Amino acid sequence: MAAATVVFVAGMSASAAASCPSQWPDWEQFKARFISVDGRVIDSSTPRAVTVSEGQAYALFFALVADDRRQFGRLLEWTENNLAAGDLTRNLPAWQWGRRDDGQWAVLDANPAADADVWLVYALDQAGRLWQEPYYRSLSAVIARQVFARETAELGGLGLGLLPAPEGFHPAPDLWRLNPSYLPPMLLRALARSQPERPWGRVLDSSEQVLVGAAPGGLAPDWVEYRPGRGFSPDSITRATGSYDAIRVYLWLGLMAEAAPERPGLVRHFAPMLELLRADGWPPETIDALSGRAQGRGPVGFAAALLPFAVAAGDHALAVRLAQQVAQQRDALRERYYDTVLMLFGMGWFEGRYRFAAEGDLVPAWSRAC
């Protein structure tokens, strides 16, 4: 993308009235590089060539943004057949699938991942609405009931919270491990509206407490611990490190609609990340969320993830600089699955290919009059 084009896109990206681009070259590249013919998203950089449920759910979202119904169907079919034992109405998707030590391809970790499950529910619900496919909406509702039953819990003093998975994140009666990047506010708001028979609004309320409480200095950690009566404290495993998980916190907040009620306060709270970015000229790979100490040079996907957040904070000059940096390294990042995912989210939004409405609905460019 030429610099002049980046400046033009930056100017229009703050408004939901962005232009209506048609074909999405970055999505076509992603499909060619990372998605098998039968609909499996493959991270070939890993020794086991793994597929994670998060990757399938993100790809479903991108297929919807691209109005790519055929690919959406393939992704969903592969996910159900291989991660959900052939039945998403009964089973949440397993987190990880890949090559076992004996060379066979199978589920490697059957524990579901709540972030993937929420994105799956959202993509199906929005696909049903936008494509007028009742089956997708009904399937979304069934999966959402499973998510609520298995992946939410009363966290004393905090309210109803979203756990990272059904198993493994409640190691003691008074202790929960939580992941702030699993809580995109716009998705939870949409879920609260589409599933009124479940109190998802309470999950949305607690999510804001988790986001802010985990980051007292405005810098998000990858993981955090919560104890009733004692509040939040650094995770005993990852400490206060913020890196490959936490970068998504800034991304989700930047993607929120301008009219979303939580957006102004959350963007202000997390503004210290932009101060680090302005000072160093590039996103750090890791930060100490308590001290603010930054280390290393983050991958280019981090720059793409921070693009919408810079726009939300009103720093359009910084957004343009980030977009130029991503554009200059676009070809290189296509070899890296996670970087490419962050680029699709950040640059896709920046180019006006999609927006989120105030109540959480997806507004893809193809659904607007151009």
State residue 17's pLDDT score. 38
Q: Which residue has the tokens 């896109």?
A: 9
Tokens of 6: 């980046």
What is the Cβ-side half-sphere exposure of residue 123, based on CA atoms within 13 angstroms? Answer: 26
Active site (annotated) includes residue 167? no
pLDDT digit string (tens) for 193-229? 998 888 999 999 999 999 999 999 999 999 999 999 9
- Span 229-251, average pLDDT: 98
The catalytically annotated residue of 26, 43, 54, 151 is: 54
Please give the pLDDT value at position 370: 54
**Token output for 143:** 């999966």
Helices vs. strands in the chain: H and E counts, helices first: 15, 13
pLDDT over 90, % of the chain: 88
d(C-alpha 165, C-alpha 26), whole Å: 31
54 CB contacts (<8 Å, ≥6 apart)?
95, 113, 115, 116, 119
The alpha-carbon radius of gyration of the chain (Å, integer) is: 19
pLDDT at site 332? 75
17-49 pLDDT, tens digit each: 345 557 999 999 999 999 999 999 999 888 899
Q: In this structure, what DSSP letter does residue 160 have?
A: E
8 Å CB contact between 182 and 114: yes
Q: Are strands 105-109 and 152-155 parallel, antiparallel or unpaired?
A: unpaired
pLDDT for 258 equals: 97
Task: Note the pLDDT of residue 21.
Answer: 59
| For residues 253-273, average pLDDT | 97
CA distances from 309 to 13, 64, 155, 293 (A): 12, 23, 29, 20
Contact 306, 315 (CB under 8 A): no
- The phi and psi torsions of 40 (rounded to 5 degrees) equal -100, 130
CA distances from 159 to 174, 200, 208, 210, 260 (A): 14, 11, 11, 10, 22
For 61, half-sphere exposure in the C-beta direction (CA atoms, 13 angstrom radius) is 27
C-alpha torsion 222→170→51→53, nearest 10: -90
Q: Which of 115, 225, 235, 361 is catalytic?
A: 115
68 tagged catalytic? no
Q: Is the dihedral of CA 59, 63, 68, 73 positive or negative?
A: positive
146-178 pLDDT, tens digit per residue, is: 999 999 999 999 999 999 999 999 999 999 999
Q: Which residues pair with 97 in a beta bridge?
A: 51, 107
CA pair distance 84, 147, nearest whole angstrom: 13
Query: Bridge-partner residues for 364, per DSSP?
Result: 354
Q: Is residue 140's pLDDT more than 80?
A: yes
What pLDDT is recorded for position 331? 79
Rounded distance between C-alpha atoms, residue 301 and residue 267, angstroms: 20
Note the pLDDT of residue 369: 63
- The values of phi and psi at residue 39, to 5°, are 100, 25
Q: Yes or no: say if 214 and 224 are a contact pair by the CB < 8 Å rule.
A: yes
What is the residue whose two structure tokens read 């989700």? Answer: 252
Mean pLDDT (the chain, rounded)? 93
3-state secondary structure of 182: helix
**Neighbouring residues of 7: CB distance < 8 A, sequence distance ≥ 6:** 320
